[in-house]
Structure 1
Amino acid sequence: MASTNSSTLFGGAGLGGAAQSTSIFPTNNPTNMFGNTSTTATLTGGTSPAKQSQTQQQFTPSSILGQEPTQTNAAPPSGQLTQPAFFNSLLERGKKRPISAIGQNGNFEDLPSLQLGLDDIRRKARELGTGGSKENQQQAQHTKAHYLLAASGVSPGHALRDLKSLDPQASMVTGLKEQELFDPDNQKFLKNIQQRGRQVMITESLSRAHKDFDSFLEEKVDMDWEEQRRKIFEHFGLAQKDDGAGGAKGGFGRTARPKQFNPASTTPPLSASRRSVFGRSALEKSVIGTPGTGTASIQLFEDKMDRNESVGGHSDLRFLREKMGYYADKVRLLNSARLHARTFPVLHEFSDVEGHVGGDVPRQLYDAYRALISIVGEPSKATNASGPAPLKERQFSNDYLDEVPSSRKAVSLRKQIIEGSRSFLEKLFYDEVESVISKNPREAQLGGIPTVINKIRAYIRLRAVRKDLAPDGTELQMVGRDYCWILIFYLLRCGFVTEAAEYVSQDPGFRSLDHKFVTYMTTYAQSRRLPRDLQQKINGEYQQRSRNAPDNTVDPYRMACYKIIGRCELSRRRLEGVNQSVEDWMWLQFSLAREDDRAEEVAGDVFGLEDIQIDISEIGQRVFGKGQEGPGGYGTFFFLQILGGMFEQAVSYLGSYAPITAVHFAIALAYYGLLRVSDVYTSGEEILSFTVKQYPQINFCYLLTQYTREFRTAYVEAAVDYFSLLCLNADLPGSLGKSQASICHEALREFILETRDFAKLLGDIRSDGSRIKGLIEQRLSLIKLADQEEFLKTITVQAAAIADDKGLITDAVLLYHLAEDYDRVIDIINRALSDAVAIELGGPALKLQPLRPRTNILEHGQDPVHDNHSPSIPGSSLSLTTVNDPVALAKNMIGLYNGNALYYQQIRQINRDACGLLLRMMEAKVEVETAKWTPALDAINDLNILPLRARSSVPYIRNAAQAFSSFPAIISHNIGHVIMWSITCIGHERERLNSGAYENEIRQGLADELLVMAKDLMVFSGMVKYKLPPRVYETLARAGAEIGAY
């Protein structure tokens, strides 16, 4: 290893210079880097034979690169004792020779032979016998390369010198700390310890800051630009859409960060795991997040696992925006009804939106709303909440959240879900029967009186024509002209149990066919269940017929009727030989389900809602897994989950495909108390999580706050309506209910600070000083505030402080006025006037950023969303919402406060005086800018801050200079500008007087008087030295020379 390092980089010794040692390591390193024993390329460039011998003895073990170690001191000690004394003396002399005498040349050919050790002499002898050293042989081999490089214009020698100048070990050497000398001074020692501690703390802080910044960049800035470009091309039709491109989705609701967890598991994401369970972590800086970019919310709550983009289909953006607008109108009406203590048919209203909005929307989403209507029994019209048995807000909250499965409340609610889902499926099927008959009247041949039985007969006749009643070869029993068992089955399927009982009891042909079933049917029609003895009989008959009857000899519809009425063979909950849809299968499950005391039930008869939910979950995993759904197939599974009472799982599942609908399903469920919600402080951004008892729960607050991102900036009223719904679950016991209300209040606070619609959100003032209620104040009863006035005042003051810091003068003035801090209002106006005074003469005037006009707020403070087309009411609010002139703003507010003693008394005298003085300064500045020199001097003199009438009276000037310190800072900062205005007016007026055609004593007297004024101003400026800007003195000196003051 070392021997190869001794040659030049390009192999030519002659071109690289005289020195043969080309080690790239520092020359002051005492040891070889790899522990090599070769002596031709040591780190010092050359060593004495003694040191070579010592080094060879020290590094006898083999090299780590697998090279054979050089044979060192191989001769035994006895051999060394027999060497002649002459050579021993030469060896001792060589050891005592200093290194400096040898030089830095590592080529042993230039050294006398007596300077070599015995081993080196042997090695040199061997090299002479083999034709030279290995280095020379390698150099000879690379000679051609040198000539080739030289012919190409490359100088190997220069390149070698440049490479030698690069010392890779320099940083390592300089990093080594020198051994500190011992110092007995204790104070210096402690000082060094403290300094080291501070340096370590600073280093750790910088390192932590670097890591935090890198994490921030990785989380916020790291975007897949190729993916974004592909999406842009696809949007404009410049590229074909790749259905299999899952990728990292940026923009709306998804980031380019790698997937870190499975949404189906209960493990929270990384962001959620860092939250504190005792409160909101400081790492989470915002409850509502940053506003969106205005794109469609098709993937707002997409699961972290990729789904095929083609699944569910990207609807037209126009339909999505229309749906969001229609839903916002319904939410506004919902909050209006809640404010007036009226019930609201939220499910009916939301279902109308889902049924009438265009786009590629599965029919099952509309059916899911109708199923919920059947489960909760919602009326179609709004009623008074105090009326007889109304369906109130949070009606089922206590029953649904009861975590004791056997409690009376929980059992009652499960029964209601089963009955509601079954009755809806029956009605849905009957609607389909009527629709098919109306579309095919010739084949159906209804005729006669359109009773229920006749319609079912027509439907059976229609299906018989199409030959889809049963598989070919199946025996179907008939009584007269009717397929009796098919007729009974479809009557049961449509929910007409009484009509089925009447048919079997009144038809003599059927009574003669199966008189026992007449007893079963009539008994079942009374309460939809059979006594224990009849159930045992019908089960026995069912088992006998299913086992003993030959194939295709038993009517499958007869066996289906037996199974439904007698709950036979519950282990096989399907109908053999009968064509069934998904809805038919679900209806069978709900027809067989019972919610009774399981301790009293026979083991084989136990089948309830929980068993149905287990079956639905298994179907979802087997059929509706990731990427297995067909177009619109997600609607079917969502519909099954709603029917089965799996509301949290349904909302979470639908959020991956139709987030707008999922959010409003969650709102409707939370309105009736049918949604178990989680704490956003502990759940983070996880939509679906589970309680300790493994009950599912939805992050309701996160759903709503993220949903508002895309429109809350443009539609402030709609955003406030959605934020008000965050308190739907504030009635929950314990800390969970408090956290829901806390999130609502924090979201409103952040939203106020995010937007500039303070007049809409917090209120406005009329020209007479009366207050107009803002959107939040109108909805105070909905956001569950313990101290409404304190909350509003706190929010208003915080918003005002933010506006003041950002330089939003009109915003800050309005907000501090609404917070009743009138003295602060005048203080802000004074600062604005001071900035306007400080602008140079002839410069652009200071313009304020006005508020957006409050045009849709009605005169009596009612909610503007009740009348979206109300015209703008002139004078509905004070003109400060549209002014951009600080002088006009100041006059408006002063006029308002001067007319009301309540306002006037709360403003400090010093602020009132300063405001009046600044307004007069602005009037004087206007006179100066319009070249009205004499009126401008009179206006400046009326300010009583400059000794313009001193007439060279030093005491008068001194008094004015002493009064300078008593002025507020906001006034004293502008006195220098007023002095420059005065000098400007004096100079121009003297020029006008002296340029007259005729001279008289009056003109001369006025000119002299102006000259005295200028001298007095110079004396005044000298007395208040260092209190005026430097350019004031420069202007005075220049103007004084021009007007002859010197």
Structure 2
Amino acid sequence: MAFNPGGTSTQPGGPAQPSQPAFFNTLLERGKKRQSAAISDAGPVDIPNLQLGIGGLRSLAQGISRVDRDDPQTRGVGKKGLSSLAASGIPPSAVRSKLASLDTQAASSGTPRHSESFDPDTQRFLRQIQQRGKDAIATDSFNRVRNEFNTFLEDKIALSWEDQREKMFESLGLGHYKNNRPVNDMSKTGDYTAASALRSRSSVFGRSGLKKSVIGTPTSGPMGTHIFGDAAAAQSDPYPSNSRALREKMERYAAIVRNLNSARMQEKPYPILHELREIEHNPTDGLHDAYDAIVKIVGESKLHMYLSSDRPEFAQDYLNDNPGSDAAVRMRERIIAGSRGFLEERFRNDMNDLLNSDPKTALRGGIPSPLSKVRAYIRLRFQRKDLAADDAEFQQLGEDHCWVLIFYLLRGGFVKEAAEYVSQNNFRSMDPKFAMYMTTYALEGRLPRDLQQKAHIEYQQRVRNAPDIDPYRMACYKIVGRCEPSNRRFEGINQKIEDWTWLQFVFAREESRVEEIAGDSFGLLDLRKDFLDIGQRVFADNSGNHAIYFLLQILAGMFEHAVVYLGQFEPASAVHLAIGLNYYGLLRVSNYFTSNELLSYTTSDQPQINFASIILQYTRDFRAGDPEAAVDYFSLLCLNTDILGDLGKSQVSVCHEALREFILESREFTNLLGDIKPDGTRIKGAIEQRSKLFGIHDDKEFFRLITLQAAAIASDKGLVADAARLYHLAEDYDKVTELINQGLSDTIVSNAAIPDSNEGRTTSSTEGPGAESISLAYRMRDLYGGNAMYYSKISRENLSSFELLLRAIEAKKFMDKSLWSEALDEMNGLAILPLTAEGSVSYIRNTVQTFSTLPPVVSRIVGQLMMWCIQCIGKRRESLQQGLYENDMRHALYDQLLTAARDLMTFAGMVRYKLSPKLYQALACAAGDIGL
């Protein structure tokens, strides 16, 4: 409630008085009015008498704040003060704060303002009006320039500082700034979120040159370590960084990719897995075995090259996201069979190596059949006492340890030979049930349900009754009868990791879970989970042999995980393993523009790898020195064009984006884009030669599209020469002329010195963009001027602007040589300035109308041309004044130049608002210097 001097209170719903701070400020205001009324002998003011002044109220309020409620001497004073304030309608609690907010200087600061005295000087008044106009124009120009500058900053300098910091860390060799998820982490963190997708790479075409590059910047750090993150740089590499061995290996890789693309253009298959296998000589890295396993899975053969590539079939089956579909089951069965076949073949090779190492002890002899080889192998193993424990008992049938012989026949993949062996009468008499199981197993590859149940029962009985008698017999029952699937390991047998792995694939079957016996279901998906668990427990800290886990991932068909895991140790080999897998469609790729992680997961929890990212990052090591090899690698991105939907389109888009950026980065226009001879014949470049690999069948349109996109980016970055060259290669000659016109116009407006060379044909990079534009202009005139094929495709407006701008350049050359008359004649020949008006206002107005119809590149140089004309007139008149002899002709020329200068100023006054204020002011100053 506000204090009312009249004794009434204002209602809360009344209008507020924000201009009065209330309470004591109101009293001060009324006190001033009262004093003024008393001095002017005015009538009495209806204001109640105040018992206390402002000072008294302040002292009383301070005294109240210091009152000690327990002191009887001060308690009365406090009560008296409170009563006085309450009687005045003022809340005591608000007194102190209100006094602190009083503006005590307000009463004395108000001084009456006197009106300005009348000034009869009209000249001074006009000067003041003119000065105000100039100030307004300057303020308006400043605001406009500031707004344009802010808009430019927002449009062009809107950098992502996180990306810039990341790029700086990489360029300094400090690795990545962000703490990305380790690539060996097999736990799934889920798909990328919508927010991360928005923060990721943006559109494909029409991107600003200041945005994040697709191909990145060439690196000078350790080769390949930037592809798979910091983990790759921390691992031991068999090839030191930038070593000669690694460079030779990369050159061999590049040759394979080149041959692969040659085969693709001829639509022929290419044994890429065999070729890559030949490069991997290190037996400890597992790559040699990995390629053998993949060859078994896909069935690649160098002897049947007339067959077409099976990529469409493999890709359709492997990329099916429904794990229960026929295609997905078919692919898992193929992986199981191929991996098992590889392990059996590897055992046969190891067996042969062992027999060849000690042929005297092996005593192979006889016909070199699988049975004789296995018998010799067992004989050699018995000699070394490494078949089982020392106290193990082995059943014999004649000279053979029959169960050991059957086991290793199965281990080597000799199922038919094992069935023939147990079909003999002497073995049937010993164990007729197993002979029946083995014969059925050899025919169908598995036992029917009834026989499998019988084999389970017999196996369990033998485990309970005689578990220590011949462990190889129990192993044979476990293999043939698929017994005890929850315990997938051999008991009592000396075995290697390969034997355990082989048993996992023996048990793995892709059957309907309804048809499987309860507890016996075990497929490739379950095996992958086991391998992932092993990787997290044993290989997560890279303490174990990484080649073992890498091979397990390949055998289980975990190709995406295998590529990323191998990338920690050998990045270059991992990149080309991904290429080989992707060639056959055995790699699930992610969208480059929406996926920020190297290894991510689809909505159906399927792993996917950013194939485009690893290819683009890999080329950073060599593309500066071998641009054609980089184009070969870029074309591999279009291997995935057969993927349906936006994913397949995104792979083509990132390929085209990479080509466009690489064209600008390398500036190898002739090698990449080719050239055009003066007669119009096109010379194909590396990109056009491989245009069939880039997903577009219209070669001409594809080439034109890529070139135009690169030219647009070059133009945005101010690379006039590169943009003009690219537009010329795209056969857009009108755009070439437009670019050169813009460059000439910029050169004239900047008032830069023109290089005095042979028509500007030879320029240096230190002479600036102006010299470059002039050199381009003369070369264009020489090339286009005499060939109707070129100038017929250039618009008349651009041609006329080009001729006019080139004449303006010639005028500037005359000025730089102090040839003032020649420069004036050249500018007069442009017919855009009233140099010959001779005071005719109508002529000047016609010139103003012509000015309004000029193209922008020409109209923007008119101001600078007027400045040049004024300078030339001044210099010419100065030379006339300094002449030794005077005559009428000299006086007439002197007056004619003065008239021309006045006509120019009249023209400038008519178009002043189309000129920049700074230029108009400079023009006025120059005119004043010559006496206008």
1:266 paired with 2:179, answer no
What letter is aligned with 1:309? Answer: A
Match of 1:329 among 236, 255, 266: 255
Residue 325 of structure 1, CA deviation: 4.2
Alpha-carbon contact 1:453-1:491 (below 8 Å) kept: yes
- The worse-fitting range, judged by mean Cα deviation, of 804-813 and 731-740 is 731-740
Report what 2:636 is aligned to: 725
1 or 2 for the larger relative contact order (CA 8 Å, sep ≥6)? 2
TM-score under structure 2 length normalisation = 0.69
Which of 584, 587, 597 is 1:675 aligned to?
587
Matched pairs, number: 789
The separation in 2 between residues aligned to 1:670 and 1:296, in whole angstroms, is: 26
Are 1:55 and 2:53 matched, yes or no? Answer: no
Aligned counterpart in structure 2 of residue 427 of structure 1, from 345, 354, 361: 345
Report the counterpart of residue 635 of structure 1 in structure 2: 547
2:234 to 300, 303, 309: 309
SS in 2 for 1:688: strand
CA contact (8 A) 1:414 1:595 kept: yes
Distance 1:492 1:470 in 2: 17
Shift of 1:367: 1.5
Where structure 2 has 5 or more consecutive residues not aligned to the other structure, the ranges are 1-23, 25-53, 86-96, 107-149, 909-918
Using the TM superposition, give the Cα deviation of residue 467 of structure 1 relative to its aligned residue in structure 2, in angstroms.
Answer: 2.4
- The CA distance in 2 between the partners of 1:924 and 1:600, in whole Å, is 94
1:973-995 Cα distance to aligned partner (Å, 9 max, x none): 6646875997899799999998x
Equivalent of residue 644 in structure 1, options 514, 537, 556 = 556
**Which residue in the other structure is 1:402 paired with?**
320
1:657-736 superposed matches below 5 A: 657-680=569-592, 682-685=594-597, 687-692=599-604, 694-712=605-623, 715-736=626-647
Alignment-derived partner of residue 67 in structure 1: none
Aligned equivalent of 1:31: none
For the residues of structure 1 that align with 2:80 and 2:808, how far apart are their CA atoms? 102
For the 8 Å contact 2:567–2:575, the answer to whether it is kept is yes
**1:529 equivalenced with 2:419 (yes/no):** no
Work out whether residues 371 and 424 of structure 1, in 8 Å CA contact, stay in contact via their aligned partners in 2. yes
Match of 2:526 among 600, 611, 619: 611
Q: 1:440 to 1:1031 in 2, by over 3 A?
A: farther
Listed one character per residue, the Cα deviations across residues 943-999 of structure 1 (whole Å, up to 9, x for unaligned) are 76289xx999958999799769667337746646875997899799999998xxxxx
> Cα gap change, 1:443/1:760 in structure 2, threshold over 3 Å: closer, same or farther?
same
CA distance in 2, matches of 1:559, 1:489: 10
CA deviation digits over 1:519-561, x for unaligned, max 9? Answer: 544443334334455545544443333322263xx22223222
Task: Using the TM superposition, give the Cα deviation of residue 843 of structure 1 relative to its aligned residue in structure 2, in angstroms.
Answer: 6.3
Q: Does 1:372 align with 2:372?
A: no
Tell me the distance in 2 between the aligned counterparts of 1:511 and 1:313.
Answer: 55
What SS does the corresponding residue of 2:288 show, helix, strand or coil? helix
Name the structure 1 match of 2:904: 1024
Q: CA deviation at 1:898?
A: 3.5
CA distance in 1, matches of 2:699, 2:648: 18
More displaced stretch, 633-642 vs 259-268? 259-268
Q: How does 1:931-942 map to 2 (within 5 A)?
A: 941=825
Contact between 1:224 and 1:256, CA under 8 Å: does it hold in 2? Answer: no
Match of 1:498 among 413, 416, 419: 416
CA contact (8 A) 1:957 1:1020 kept: no
Report the 3-state secondary structure (helix = DSSP H, G, I; strand = E; otherwise coil) of the residue aligned with 2:601.
Answer: strand
| Matches for 1:896-907 after TM superposition, within 5 Å | 896-907=783-794
- Residue 277 of structure 1 deviates from its aligned partner by 12
**CA distance in 2 between partners of 1:316 and 1:260 (Å):** 21
Distance 1:219 1:404, change over 3 A: closer
3-state DSSP of counterpart to 1:341: coil
The correspondence of residues 419-818 of structure 1 with structure 2, limited to 5 A, is 419-446=337-364, 450-479=368-397, 481-505=399-423, 514=431, 517-532=434-449, 534-549=451-466, 551=468, 554-603=469-518, 605-624=520-539, 626-627=540-541, 629-630=542-543, 633-680=545-592, 682-685=594-597, 687-692=599-604, 694-712=605-623, 715-752=626-663, 756-785=667-696, 793=704, 795-818=706-729
Contact preservation (8 Å) 2:362, 2:377: yes
Q: Aligned letter for 1:803?
A: A
Q: Secondary structure at the residue paired with 1:422?
A: helix
Structure 1 residue 424 displacement after superposition: 0.7
Instruction: Kindly provide the amino acid, as one letter, of the partner of residue 377 in structure 2.
Output: Y
Distance 2:809 2:229 in 1: 61
Question: Which deviates more from structure 2 when the two are superposed, residues 658-667 or residues 569-578?
Answer: 658-667
Deviations 1:474-529 (A, max 9, x none): 223445554443333222222222333444556x7656655654454444333433
In 1: Cα distance, 2:835 partner to 2:553 partner: 96
Specify whether residues 93 and 578 from structure 1 end up closer, same or farther in structure 2 by C-alpha distance, changes over 3 A only. closer
Distance across 2 between alignment mates of 1:254 and 1:314: 26
Q: Judging changes above 3 Å, is the alpha-carbon distance between structure 1 residues 842 and 254 closer, same or farther for their aligned structure 2 residues?
A: closer
Corresponding letter in the other structure for 2:796: Q
Deviations 1:886-917 (A, max 9, x none): 55533433343344434323323343244345
CA apart distance, 1:814: 1.8
How far apart are the structure 1 equivalents of 2:569 and 2:55?
Answer: 74
Other-structure match for 1:73? 70
Aligned sequence identity (%): 42
Partner Cα distance (1:264, 1:523) in 2: 42
Equivalent residue of 2:311, what SS?
coil
Amino acid at match of 1:433: M
Q: How does 1:209-224 map to 2 (within 5 A)?
A: 220-221=164-165
Secondary structure class of the residue paired with 2:680: coil
Residues 314 and 261 of structure 1: is their aligned pair in 2 closer, same or farther, counting only changes over 3 Å?
A: closer
Of 211, 214, 221, 1:295 maps to 221
Would the aligned equivalents of 1:298 and 1:657 in 2 still touch at CA under 8 Å? Answer: no
Corresponding residue for residue 183 of structure 1:
none
Q: Secondary structure at the match of 1:697?
A: strand
Distance change >3 Å, CA 266–CA 285, structure 1 → 2: farther
8 Å contact 2:310–2:584 — kept in the other structure?
Answer: yes
User: 1:595 touches 1:608 (CA, 8 Å); kept in 2?
Assistant: yes
Distance 1:729-1:976 versus aligned 2 partners, 3 A rule: same
How far apart in 2 are the matches of 1:490 and 1:884?
Answer: 82
What do residues 543-601 of structure 1 show as CA deviations (whole Å, max 9, x unaligned)? 333322263xx222232223222222223211112222221111112123333344333
Amino acid at match of 1:578: I
Alignment-derived partner of residue 111 in structure 2: none
TM-score (normalizing by structure 1): 0.63
Counterpart CA distance in 2 for 1:986 and 1:52 is 86
CA 1:416–1:946 in 2, change beyond 3 Å: closer, same or farther? closer
Provide the rounded CA distance (Å) in 1 between the counterparts of 2:174 and 2:761: 34
Contact 2:599 2:607 in 1 (8 A): no
Distance 1:45 1:961, change over 3 A: closer
- Structure 1: where are the runs of 5+ without partners? 1-27, 29-43, 58-70, 98-168, 179-205, 233-249, 853-882, 995-1003
1:623, distance to aligned residue in structure 2 (A): 2.0
SS of structure 2 residue aligned to 1:464: helix
Structure 1 residues 951 and 462: CA distance shift in structure 2, 3 A: closer
C-alpha contact (below 8 Å) 1:823/1:906 kept by paired residues: yes
Q: How far does residue 610 in structure 1 lie from its aligned partner after superposition?
A: 2.5
Instruction: Determine if contact 1:679/1:740 at 8 Å carries over to the other structure.
Output: yes
Distance in 1 (alpha carbons) for counterparts of 2:317 and 2:464: 44
Alpha-carbon distance between aligned partners in 2 of 1:74 and 1:376, rounded to the nearest angstrom? 103
Q: Relative to structure 1, is the Cα distance of residues 534 and 298 closer, same or farther in structure 2, using a 3 angstrom cutoff? A: same
